[in-house]
Structure 1
């Protein structure tokens, strides 16, 4: 999904004549369209009473199955209350009883959540790239620790949940630089036993639809029969995100640009690190540790947090 644009939005003025949306006795005025993906749109809205700017996610459902998936996102957002996970402001399901000429629409699910003016980690990466700059290592580790803490809340839930689409575009930055994991539409119960080839193909198809290729774990490209997939799919993605935050691109970006197979590059862990990056070797060591091709060799989130906390303290002491 495209992340929330910033500069254009903040120039918007009067809401006169704009559409109003009522959700649970709260009225919101739409200001502008700020993002869209394959399944939804994001509008910038203003609370009619408080004038607070918020983000409204509109998910158009073309079937009852679409509706079920959209409402699952709402339920998952209701489940987690953590500083590093996007909170739910309001939500509703609007049935639609007519058909358009092009395609039937069963319903629309509306999700109101905070609006983050600073955009996403991906937006930050683009700004740094344009300036020819990079993140400082203490800042990088501190932000990465926040992302890990958000995932810990999901992985420690009973039953554990995996996000399955952790990437820079899905991590917003609050005004105080707190990273916020968002877009829980791909999240699901983490531990899945694959007993048949049909179950493997089904999970593979879901991953292809909802999990971004450049950050997708190897076991989701080729789901093996008689295997178990667990929350360590997110640990692989964390490794990709750490690499991207340091080097301002996905570890498989160049493979993608060449038009080569992402799946082969991921399964072969075709990782290349930039020389003379200015970062300590802890970046490369941690990325390599997180991105083990065999998920059983990857750490769980608690071990990751213990390691990253050490690195945060070490980098702060070096400053």
Structure 2
């Protein structure tokens, strides 16, 4: 990466003001805001030279801890190489002298590929308006590709990785509806040894901040004082993603929208299915297979892939 740094230039037009970013010598025009979260926002930008569009994730850091978390995210982007995991195009950290926010210590700009189809969440929301269900084969095709990305993380050497915030909004779709796993800011070592109430509370607080409630594994709602949390938190989230691909939203989104406790619903493990459904019982069984409340009874990713392939084989035989 060269040392030209990042400068932000406001260029006045006759009707509106357009923001420009210069990141490591490349100039981008900000076109629109794509999304905003508690820790960052994402803008659609266009490279002024080749007119190619990208997504720029901006992360404002208010402390040394924030900076470490952001650098960890960048490291995950740079070391993970898988066709179903998003790639980092470029990045830059501002320094304190470049800050316009007096409360910020620094700001990170991450240049990422732009997928104009949007996320799996966007895709499912559009289809939900007229109950346009995906067919079983397409559901399983997308699901197996997501599983392959998760397997890559869980098998990563020398230290396995858990995503910890797997959800439909963190899965982009290519023009061919191939899934691309994104937002690696929640990634962490797959296995965590919890030793005492202080450790438990720290992990529980982190999960509350970084892991979306309606896709969060039960063991992260109430972390026991002495336990091991492992990569099977992602398997629970996979079950929620699979259910969402079938019925447009996580089973616990439905609980949340009713105003009921997602925490209690997750701990009970009770998931309901519509009375009329285009999906076979094998699909529901695959969801149940992932949504085991007791993490020690929950399968690892290889078993999930095997079961999903069995379901796909049955569908292809019938077709």
| Mapped partners of 1:230, 1:275: distance in 2 | 35
- Give 1:25-36 correspondences, 5 Å limit: 25-36=25-36
Superposed CA offset, 1:276-311 (max 9, x none)? 201110111011110101111111111111221222
1:38 alignment counterpart? 38
| Mapped partners of 1:151, 1:132: distance in 2 | 29
| Mapped partners of 1:173, 1:107: distance in 2 | 31
Q: Say if 2:283 and 2:311, in contact at 8 Å, map to a contact too.
A: no
| Mapped partners of 1:172, 1:141: distance in 2 | 16
| Mapped partners of 1:284, 1:162: distance in 2 | 25
TM-score by length of 1: 0.91
Runs of 4+ in 1 over 4 A off after TM superposition: 98-101
Superposed CA offset, 1:69-109 (max 9, x none)? 111111111111111111110011111337768x5111111
| Mapped partners of 1:312, 1:44: distance in 2 | 36
Over 3 Å counting, the alpha-carbon distance change for 1:49 and 1:98 in structure 2 is closer
The structural deviation recorded for 1:273 is: 1.3
Superposed CA offset, 1:170-217 (max 9, x none)? 111011111011111111111000011100000000000010000000
1:10 alignment counterpart? none
- Give 1:284-303 correspondences, 5 Å limit: 284-303=284-303
2:135 alignment counterpart? 136
Q: Gaps (5+ residues) in structure 1? A: 1-15
1:97 alignment counterpart? 97
1:181 alignment counterpart? 181
| Mapped partners of 1:254, 1:154: distance in 2 | 29
Number of aligned residue pairs: give it: 303
Superposed CA offset, 1:131-152 (max 9, x none)? 2211111000000001101111
Over aligned residue pairs, what C-alpha RMSD do you find?
1.5
1:12 alignment counterpart? none
The structural deviation recorded for 1:250 is: 1.3
Q: Gaps (5+ residues) in structure 2? A: 1-15
Superposed CA offset, 1:49-79 (max 9, x none)? 2211110000011111111111111111111
